[in-house]
Amino acid sequence: MKFSSKKPVLSLLAATLFVGSNALEMQPSFREGNFKNIAFTALVGGSSHHNWVLSIIDELGDRGHNVSYLTSTQDTRFGQPFQNVRTVDIGPEVPYDKVKVMQDICSGKPPIEIFSKAIPLMTAHYERDYFTYLSYFESNRIDLALCDHFVEACVDAANTLSIPFIVTSTLDYTSEAAAPYINNNMNTMSDYTTEFQSFSTRFKNKFFVPLDALYKFYPHIKDMMTRKRAIGIEAKFETPESTWKDSIKLVNSLFGYTAARPLGPLSEHIGPIIPKKYKPLTGELEQYFSSHERVAYIAFGQQAVPSEQNIRLILTGLLESIEAGTLDGFLWATVNSRGSFPDSITTSSNTTYNVLDMFSHANPHARMIKWAPQIAILAHPSTAVFVSHGGLGSWYESMYAGTPMIMFPFFGDQPGNALIIERSGLGGIIKSNGPVEDAVELIKKVVIDEDDEIKKNVKRIQALTQIHSEHSILRAADVVEEVAYTHKDNKLPHRQTASLNMPYIKSHNIDLYAALLSLLTGALALAVFIISKALGAKQIKMKTQ
């Protein structure tokens, strides 16, 4: 009897098709008839405080939630590109001479000096902001607030109304991201780890810097406590982080851009969130880049204002690099710093360049513009290097495009970012007090890249950046929905560690080590006792003989 192998195969194929045609796809149901009202606020900083979070809440709006963005009059522009986001103007920012303040901040002062001056500006409208958030959250039945880490009034309003909130930041400087070898205090973050720091620096940062910070910040803390109590808030002498302890910290970063370390369950590193749509080159810029092959692009973000001395150093280095043939042009986005440029620059070849010619575009190779389509420039094959302040957003965009970097950091996270870039072989750092010769040599090293080592490193981080940015907005939106739908009394029980329900001694096994030490001490004491008894008996025996 013959058995046909065709029938079982055909039967199996038919069964597979039948099952496939009747298969059902699981669909989430948690949102049905229960969409949330979500509000985000940011009041200070440039686009790095606003745009990435706006991308997240725009996605949440696309999912059906009602999302709003509360900000100052000057920053409402950030909300315009996001169709699903309702932008709410809460009033003008604190009036101040921005260029003068930023020049002071960019002057190389220690972080403590910078923050002790900046924080009072951030809280000048605290009462107005607090009552605005309170009214808006109540009248719009806000279910969840996203608060920029500098907006204390948002956190206080959410706590007053018992609304869950998420803290947004590009840096994680809370205990959730702490480790003995990590510098995650804002006053010591000029280097993110202690790996390359001397004993004296580590000792100073660990013990003296916190005391200095307390001394300098105490008047502001005391003033804020008085102001809060005056409007009915139960204010305590505590750090802002203490009020966030039960909340998710949503951080636009990832390892590779920040030092690797264990993270707590309430710290979510969801970066990099990078704009996927960008403005193209203008016709004039397209023509400029098409006629050059090795262009340096220079931009220091929306906030930093370099001094004339800084500009002379960088500009001379760029011009001498063109003279040496390392570069054949540069484009500088001046933003707020035009008034700091010198009238002329004389290079070591004794050639004098008229800087006004660069602004009027009379110079065919050296060009200045106020604003530049940065992503389009970085993506152009003629861009050989990006000279940057080291802001995280610029770093992301440069790596996504595969462009090496030369750093000239000023304040905040920029010095720490610059060190990672240098140590990771992605570029180098121009020292503000260094000679022009060093700047010229560094530009040559990065642009020529004789052994292709920088190119290989940039390629690796480019892959890392593109991989993690592909779904970063979706991942972040999922985290926001997790908080909105799973919190219990504004806490996330599933993210609370068991240690919170234990005494410190038990959660850190101190009782076990104490018991072991007691046993070892007892055993040692017993051994000493037995030996001393034995020796004593032996001595008595010897005396009697």
What the chain holds in terms of domains, given with CATH numbers, is 37-269 (3.40.50.2000), 283-468 (3.40.50.2000)
How do residues 105-144 score in pLDDT, each as one tens digit?
777 777 777 777 778 888 889 999 999 999 999 999 999 9
Residue 266, pLDDT > 90, answer yes
Kindly tell me if the per-residue pLDDT of 368 is higher than 80.
Answer: yes
DSSP 201-236: HHHIIIIIHHHHHHHHHHHHHHHHHHHHHHTT----
Q: Is the pLDDT of residue 3 over 80?
A: no
Q: Reply yes or no on whether the pLDDT at 196 is more than 60.
A: yes
What is the spatial distance between Cα 319 and Cα 449, in angstroms, rounded to a whole number? 19
Q: Is the pLDDT of residue 187 over 50?
A: yes
Give the predicted TM-score (pTM) of the model: 0.89
What confidence category does residue 2 fall into, taking pLDDT thresholds of 50, 70 and 90? very low
Task: Reduce the DSSP state of residue 167 to 3 states and report it.
Answer: strand
pLDDT number for residue 1: 42
pLDDT above 60 (res 400): yes
Query: Is the pLDDT assigned to residue 6 strictly greater than 80?
Result: no
Residue type, 409: P
Percentage of residues in the chain with pLDDT exceeding 90?
76
Are 306 and 335 within 8 A, CB to CB?
no
Q: Say yes or no to pLDDT of 254 above 90.
A: yes
What's the CA gap between 13 and 29, in Å, rounded?
33
| CB-CB contact of 182 with 193 (8 Å) | yes
Q: What is the mean pLDDT of the chain?
A: 91
At CB < 8 A and 24+ separation, what contacts does 124-129 make?
A: 124/94, 125/91, 125/93, 125/94, 126/152, 126/153, 126/224, 126/227, 127/227, 127/231, 128/90, 128/91, 129/43, 129/90, 129/153, 129/154
Residue of 20, 45, 24, 9 whose CA lies nearest to 119: 45
Q: What are phi and psi of 285, to 5 degrees?
A: -70, -35
pLDDT-based confidence at residue 541 (cuts at 50, 70, 90):
low
pLDDT band at 146; cut points 50, 70, 90? very high
Of 156, 135, 166, 152, which is closest to residue 38 (Cα–Cα)?
A: 166
pLDDT range class, residue 302, cuts 50, 70, 90: confident
User: Which range (78-92, 227-241, 249-263) has the least confidence?
Assistant: 227-241
Most confident of 21-35, 136-150, 298-312, 530-544: 136-150
Q: Which of 91-100, 178-187, 253-262 has the highest mean pLDDT?
A: 253-262
Model confidence pLDDT, tens digit, residues 50-67 = 999 999 999 999 999 999
Q: In angstroms, how far is CA 60 from the centroid of its own chain?
A: 22
112 closest CA partner among 185, 196, 168, 172: 185
509 exposed, middle or buried (CB, 10 Å; 0-12, 13-18, 19+)?
A: exposed
- What phi and psi, each to the nearest 5 degrees, are found at residue 332? -120, 120
